[in-house]
Amino acid sequence: MDNEIKGIIFDIQSFSVHDGPGCRTTIFMNGCPLRCEWCANPESWVLKKHIMFSQTNCRFEKGCKLCEDVCEYGGLNLKNNELELNWDICKSCETFECSSVCYYNALKVCGKEYKVSDLIKILNRDSHSWSREGGVTFSGGEPFFQSEFLINTLKECKKNYFHTAIETTAYVNNVTFLEVFKYIDFAFIDLKHMDREKHKQKTGVYNDLILNNIELLANSNWNGRLVLRMPVIRDFNDTYENIMNIIWFMKENNLVEINILPFHRLGESKWRQLGKEYKYKNEGPTSSKKLYEIQNLFLENNIACYIGHDTLF
């Protein structure tokens, strides 16, 4: 075990109440193998520190040009009296001088290195505010993308008797997946679509490995609690056929809980801050009618179905 192993984390949220039982600390880890078109945390995709730019915070048009003065790579340009980033240049930047002089937080670095020992200090501090059922949740991005760092951190968590939870796509090799779950007490695992081709169209990867890992876990001797999770995306996975295929899959593997998440556009601004096009900018929230229709299908088949943050802990 190595407390000096480093990982990259883009956020740590204390006092979280929706990412597992009780009050928790949620650690958002960089890196993800999926590219979901509706992703709320696209800043998590790459496993390195990188720049984000908020046009609404920028004061370039009011004469603030400190960032342009310090950038040596030609990544910042004035266009129509607004600051514009050359993302081909900025994506490869590793020095981030521009963010260090931006007083308005328009330019900021996403991702920070932590050692295992650094995280344990934070968790020990936060643990005094957790409820009896509380603990730490590893999220992302995809926590498995930094599996060595994750495993070493989880081992230290267990030494400190912390309750551990994970939010994961389960897109990782079987051996690593089962190794990590030796140290996990509670899990949300995403199940975005049962059809492998449709899954790949919207996420960039096939679902074979995901389904296989869920099956392995469900039929292992792991004694934690597993809740599947599905973001409800209109005209993608909200069809009767897909829901019934999920129900069949869950029954085959004796799985009894699922959390359906209504679509939202809370991550839209992050796509802009990364210079990416958000394909769901005109999509509205999932209707209550659709959510209840899906929930009723699960309930009729004796599967507990929670909507949004209504998961029972």
Q: What is the DSSP string of 198-227?
A: HHHHHHSS-SHHHHHHHHHHHTSS--SEEE
Treating both helix axes as pointing N-terminal to C-terminal, what angle do 240-252 and 288-300 enclose, rounded to 10 degrees?
A: 30
Element at 66 (helix H, strand E): helix 66-70
124: number of CA atoms within 13 Å, CB side? 10
Residue 1 confidence (pLDDT) above 60: no
pLDDT in tens, 151-174: 999 999 999 999 999 999 999 999
Q: What is the DSSP string of 113-149?
A: EEEHHHHHHHHHHHGGGS-TT-EEEEEES-GGGGHHH
Cα 157 from Cα 63, distance rounded (Å):
49
What pLDDT sits at residue 70?
Answer: 92
What's the rounded mean pLDDT across residues 285-308? Answer: 98
The one-character DSSP state at 278 is -
106: number of CA atoms within 13 Å, CB side? 22
From 27, 18, 15, select the one nearest 312 (Cα to Cα): 18
What amino acid occupies position 31?
Answer: G
Has this prediction a pTM greater than 0.85? yes
- Burial of residue 17, with CB atoms counted within 10 A of its CB: 0-12 exposed, 13-18 middle, 19 or more buried: middle
Cα 301 from Cα 41, distance rounded (Å):
33
Q: Please report which confidence band the pLDDT of residue 217 belongs to, taking 50, 70 and 90 as the band edges.
A: very high
Pairing, β 186-190 against β 163-168: parallel
Residue 94's SS3 state is coil
Count CB-CB contacts under 10 A for residue 105. 11
- Burial of residue 49, with CB atoms counted within 10 A of its CB: 0-12 exposed, 13-18 middle, 19 or more buried: middle
Q: Which domains does the chain have, with CATH numbers?
A: 6-46+112-307 (3.20.20.70), 50-110 (3.30.70.20)
Residues 6+ apart with CB under 8 A from 102: 66, 67, 108
**Cα 209 from chain centre:** 18
**Cα 171 from chain centre:** 13
Residue 169's SS3 state is coil
pLDDT in tens, 10-23: 999 999 999 999 99
What amino acid occupies position 40?
Answer: A
Tokens of 270: 């992050």
Tokens of 126: 């936060």
Residue 50's SS3 state is strand
Pairing, β 82-85 against β 76-79: antiparallel
pLDDT in tens, 99-138: 999 999 999 999 999 999 999 999 999 999 998 899 999 9
What pLDDT sits at residue 157?
Answer: 97
pLDDT in tens, 43-67: 999 999 999 999 999 988 778 888 9
Say if residue 141 is preceded by a cis peptide, omega within 30 of 0: yes
What pLDDT sits at residue 62?
Answer: 78
